[in-house]
């Protein structure tokens, strides 16, 4: 027996009772029915929904374009200057030293070493598609960062004396972008290989914490405006999300057409070694 909340009012269609978001709900329910009709099991359904990473990339790209328009028009400058003036008043030697150490985690040499070590580990443990994803994400991020910096060519802040050396243009923040791409992708790949949910959450949370610290260090050291850092994070999410979605799409395709891909990308059994 239907409850009063389940029974539509006379003269009104069921879709109308869903309110202003009825169109979104209709699309979602139709997508669920379509996926359930063609998918063989729940794992396939779950994998398909992981392709929402592609939607994340599109949304982040749109958000970046909006920020870039405001930066070009100078509408963010008052806010940027106000934040930098506040940070300039709250400079402390001990905190500045700590931020120098933190910001070094986002430099090119450190990032390259992380990618090299993580990529070698994945490759030697037969997770070659994951290793390729990491290298492509990192390389593409470097190219994207250089192109965007050259295109916008925004001058760096001069509110107070910098606490570190910086040479390239300011928008978007390369440290913010590379930290999101590298630390985010490495954490994602590590979480995929872990069988324990708590371990996956801890891995992703640690990566997120490191990204926040690196972004904060760029502001505290005076070499980036807040809008630079925000734009770098958004571009990093867009590119990393797109790359992750491509790996998940490969996994879905492999379920029926290339099962050997799933075999080499499966989590290693307990006690396994690279040579086993």
CATH number for the domain harbouring residue 92: 1.20.144
**Residue 139 backbone zone (phi > 0: left; psi -120 to 50: alpha; other: beta):** alpha
User: Is residue 247 pLDDT above 90, yes or no?
Assistant: no
Chain mean pLDDT for the chain: 79
Of 273 and 55, the structure prediction assigns the larger pLDDT to 55
pTM comes to: 0.75
Q: What pLDDT shows up at residue 42?
A: 44
Angstrom distance (rounded) from CA 121 to CA 261: 17
Q: What pLDDT shows up at residue 35?
A: 52
Q: Of 232, 74, 105, whose CA–CA distance to 168 is shortest?
A: 232
Angstrom distance (rounded) from CA 32 to CA 45: 9
Tell me whether residue 92 is in a domain: yes
Tell me whether residue 141 is in a domain: yes
Long-range Cβ contact pairs of 199-208 (< 8 A, separation 24 or more) = 207/183
As for how many domains the chain has, the answer is 1
Angstrom distance (rounded) from CA 122 to CA 186: 10
Of 40 and 89, the structure prediction assigns the larger pLDDT to 89
User: Is residue 5 pLDDT above 50, yes or no?
Assistant: no
16 pLDDT band, cuts 50/70/90, is very low
Tell me whether residue 54 is in a domain: yes
Tell me whether residue 24 is in a domain: no
15 pLDDT band, cuts 50/70/90, is very low
Angstrom distance (rounded) from CA 55 to CA 212: 23
User: Is residue 274 pLDDT above 60, yes or no?
Assistant: no
Tell me whether residue 15 is in a domain: no
Residue 248 is part of which domain span? 42-265
Tell me whether residue 17 is in a domain: no
Angstrom distance (rounded) from CA 131 to CA 117: 10
């Amino acid at each position: 027996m239907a409850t009063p909340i389940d029974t539509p009012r006379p003269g009104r269609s069921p879709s109308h009772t869903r309110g202003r978001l009825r169109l979104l709900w209709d699309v979602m329910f139709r997508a669920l029915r379509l996926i359930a009709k063609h998918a063989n099991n729940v794992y396939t359904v779950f994998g398909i929904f992981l392709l929402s990473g592609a939607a994340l990339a599109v949304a982040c790209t749109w958000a970046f374009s909006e920020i870039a328009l405001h930066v070009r028009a100078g509408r963010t400058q008052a806010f940027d200057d106000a934040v930098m003036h506040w940070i300039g008043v709250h400079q402390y030697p001990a905190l500045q030293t700590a931020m120098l150490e933190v910001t070094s985690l986002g430099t090119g040499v450190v990032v390259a070493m992380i990618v090299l070590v993580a990529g070698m580990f994945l490759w030697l443990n037969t997770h070659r598609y994951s290793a390729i994803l990491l290298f492509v994400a990192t390389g593409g991020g470097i190219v994207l960062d250089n192109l965007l910096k050259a295109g916008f060519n925004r001058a760096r802040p001069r509110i107070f004396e910098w606490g570190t050396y910086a040479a390239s243009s300011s928008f978007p923040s390369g440290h913010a972008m590379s930290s999101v791409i590298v630390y985010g992708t490495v954490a994602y790949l590590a979480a995929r290989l872990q069988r324990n949910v708590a371990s996956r959450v801890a891995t992703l949370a640690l990566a997120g914490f490191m990204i926040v610290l690196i972004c904060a260090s760029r502001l505290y050291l005076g070499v980036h405006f807040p809008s630079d850092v925000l734009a770098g994070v958004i571009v990093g999410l867009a590119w990393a999300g797109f790359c992750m979605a491509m790996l998940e799409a490969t996994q879905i395709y492999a379920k029926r057409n290339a099962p050997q891909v799933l075999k080499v990308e499966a989590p290693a059994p307990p006690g396994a070694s690279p040579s086993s």
